[in-house]
Structures are given as C-alpha cells and as structure tokens.
Structure 1
Amino acid sequence: MNRSARLVTAALTVSTAMLLTACGSGGSDDSSSDKIKGADAGAASSSSASASAASDIKRPKITLPRSLQVTFSGWKNSDPKLQAILDDGRQQLLGSYSAIVEADAESEAMTFYNTGVALTTGKEWVNGFVKNDLTLIGEARAYNPQTRISPDGSGTLFYCVDESKGATKNRKTGETTNTPADKAQVLYRTKLSKNDAGVWQTTTVTTTQGGCQ
C-alpha cells in the first residue's frame, strides 16, 4: 500500500489516530527479510530537532509544540557514517510531524530531508491531514533503530515508533482520536541517499502497523 492509498482511507475513516502508518511506494530490496526485534533501552532525546554532526551544512530548524512530544531511544552509533544516517533519519521524521502540525506540505524540512518518491508521497500524506483539518497531539517514541550502508552506497534505516500515547485532533471541533492499541507499535523501513551537500535524504518509506509488537 502506498501513501496516497492510505490517505484515501484516512480521509474516510480516520481510524488510526496519528495516521503515521502510511506506506511509502517502493522500499528497500531487503525490507522483506530484515526485522526489528525488541525495544532498545537507550537514552531518550528531546523532541526539538538536534543538529547533525555535519555543522557546516545549513539545516532547517524544526521545533514541535508542547502538545506533541517525540523522544528517541537508542539513536546512537559508534560509526560516524551510520550516526549521520541516524541523525538525518531522525530529522526526517520530526520534519514530517512538524509539517503536519504547521499544515504545510511544502515546509523547508520536508523538502530538505526527503527526495524522490518519499517527497511526493510525503506531501500527499501531509495534505491529507490539512484537508481533514487534523493535527497531531500527544506523545510518540521512536526506538530500536537499525541502520547500514548498502554496497550501492545507499542507506537503510529501520526503526519502531510507539504511537500508543498519540492522537489526532480536529482543528475546528477539537475532537480527538486515539491510536488503536493493536496498531500502535509501527515498524518503519526507509531508504536514504546521500546528496551532494552531504545530507542523507529519505527516498522511500514503508510502514507496518503493529509491526513491532
């Protein structure tokens, strides 16, 4: 299922509160064989965007409101190259959340950290929230990231997101919809490509509801 198809379902039912289980077109060649196991017990980081190790790159500032808190557990790697993928993958997720909160599919963070299919479907995904007057509230925790660099030079990043304390909120009515418990642990499979500026941009996103149970 691709992101645009998930948007149609979301527009009709809004059954999953955070609606962050949209499936990106494509995916990595190894997405069917790699599985993330249990949660990692690493330290959590702030929901505010942190700068990547590459300080010479001018990056967009990403700030989430207090009504939406996102933490990251175990997003550290001793290999600087893999850490760079983790850093930019984290910013991509935060940028997507920020675009929804700001109701801006053309936000700087969206276009900075996404490219190709991920950018196209990501904009459609955000616009699905905008058209339905929805925003995100509550808490989300991204944990157990697993990353590597493929022989072709592309990056692969798998991780889980716990949406059990997250919800969508209608901007007009104030009505909230919580995430169903059986779908709250979402598995993300992403592919990334390093651009000329040295940024690891996400090229595809595939997600599985309940994939980290």
Structure 2
Amino acid sequence: MNRRFLPVAVAITAGTALLLTGCSSGGGDDDTSDKIKGAGGGDKDASAPAGPSASKNRAERPEITLPRSFQVAFDGWTNSDPKLQAILDDGKERLRASYAAISNKDPQDRALTFYSESDALRTGTEWVKKFTDKNLVLTGKGRVFQPQPRISPDGSGTLFYCVDEGKGSTKDTKTGKVTATPADDALVLYRTKLRKTKDGVWKTTMVQTERGACT
C-alpha cells in the first residue's frame, strides 16, 4: 500500500469492487448519475437555514473531535428539506467519524461504529486499519462539497459527495515522514447508501469511492 492519502482512501472499495461495477452500469434504487457536475439535490443557497432535524432529538449521537493537524470543511452542506438535511447531517458525521477513528488509532472507534453498519462498517473498519497498521495519521485539510442527498421510494437514503484531498497528507507517527497527496489523485467521488433507524439515525450501510468522477 502506498503511503498516500488518496490511495489508502480508495482501498475502502477493495471489498466492494462488484458493487462498483453494478453502480457504473446504472443499477440501484435511484437514477443518480455516476458523475457529480453540480450541487444537484442540495439546496443551492448555502446560506439557507437547515432547520432542526427531527432525527437529532431521538438519539444520543457521539461527539466527534478532529485534531488541529487535520481539519475538514463541508461546503454547501445544507438543504431546505429537513428530511434531506437529516441525511446530510448523519452522512457528514459518518465521514468525520472515519477520520476521527484514524486520529484515535482505533478501527472500532465508537463514532464510526455508531454511524456505520453492514458493509459500510466492515469496509470502514478495514480502511481505518490500513492506517493504524502502518502508524499513519492524516494531516492538512480536506474539503467535502457537492452533496446530493436523496430518499428512495423504499425509504432508504443515498448520499453522493465529492472530497478534495489535495491539501491532505499522511504522516508516519514513528518516523515523522509526511507524504502529500498527488494532485492528480486529489478528487474522490463518494457514493453511499443509508438506512434510517427507529431512533431516527441515518446509518451508512454501503460506501463506494471513485477517483476522477467529480468535476
């Protein structure tokens, strides 16, 4: 495994290669395009108030703290529809939880296991372990943008978004060596599926990533 931010992130798809093939063929509960070309299902007015999420009142969500050495900005992460905002909120926390698990050097970090289940829990813990096994942590900055939340007819949720890792790096905690993300590997498209629990939490059940699918 290369000690680079993006290739390690893409390793999360290793266990879901078949799912990636299915997604590229257009299968799935929704008709969302493989490539994100704009804010799509998100509210175009990033300054619009999200409004309270009903789901926030029914479950005690874990507090997630990222270190000063690695920060993530979420651009346009609001939607005027409170149901879609709830997906954005929990989808955002799931991504932050995966980063926090790396910082905490714990593949079974409580926040990650709280927001993940099924295949997403398996691949998420495997992804974190690829860092912890090599004494790597993330440094620098990440940017998450162009979110596209959707609720399918069967009640499940989907959330697509782009991650720019161009200002991110990995650091070997034993040697201190820092390896920056190559510019041509910086943009990653995330495709996720979610399920709403009886407590109102949108738990991520599946994650796919693809380089170069964001514009």
Instruction: Quickly name the TM-score band, shorter chain normalised.
Output: 0.7 to 0.9
Tell whether the 8 Å contact from 1:113 to 1:202 is kept in structure 2 after alignment: yes
Tell whether the 8 Å contact from 2:188 to 2:209 is kept in structure 1 after alignment: yes
Q: How does 1:71-150 map to 2 (within 5 A)?
A: 71-150=73-152
CA gap 1:16/1:100 in 2 versus in 1, 3 angstroms: closer
Q: Identify unmatched segments of 5+ residues in structure 2.
A: none
1:202 alignment partner in structure 2:
204
Whole-angstrom distance in 1 between the partners of 2:57 and 2:194: 20
Aligned partner of residue 207 in structure 1, secondary structure: strand
Whole-angstrom distance in 1 between the partners of 2:45 and 2:65: 23
> Could you tell me how far 1:151 is from its partner in structure 2?
1.0
Aligned partner of residue 98 in structure 1, secondary structure: helix
> Could you tell me how far 1:126 is from its partner in structure 2?
0.7
Whole-angstrom distance in 1 between the partners of 2:159 and 2:6: 24
> Could you tell me how far 1:33 is from its partner in structure 2?
3.5
Number of matched pairs: 196
RMSD: 2.3
Q: What percent of counterpart residues are identical? A: 55
1:161 alignment partner in structure 2:
163
Whole-angstrom distance in 2 between the partners of 1:173 and 1:42: 45
CA gap 1:187/1:57 in 2 versus in 1, 3 angstroms: same
1:6 alignment partner in structure 2:
none
Q: 2:195 aligns with which of 183, 193, 199?
A: 193
Aligned partner of residue 88 in structure 1, secondary structure: helix
In the superposition, the TM-score normalised over structure 1's length comes to 0.84
CA gap 1:113/1:139 in 2 versus in 1, 3 angstroms: same
Whole-angstrom distance in 2 between the partners of 1:182 and 1:38: 20
Higher helix share: 2
- 1:20 is the counterpart of 2:3: no
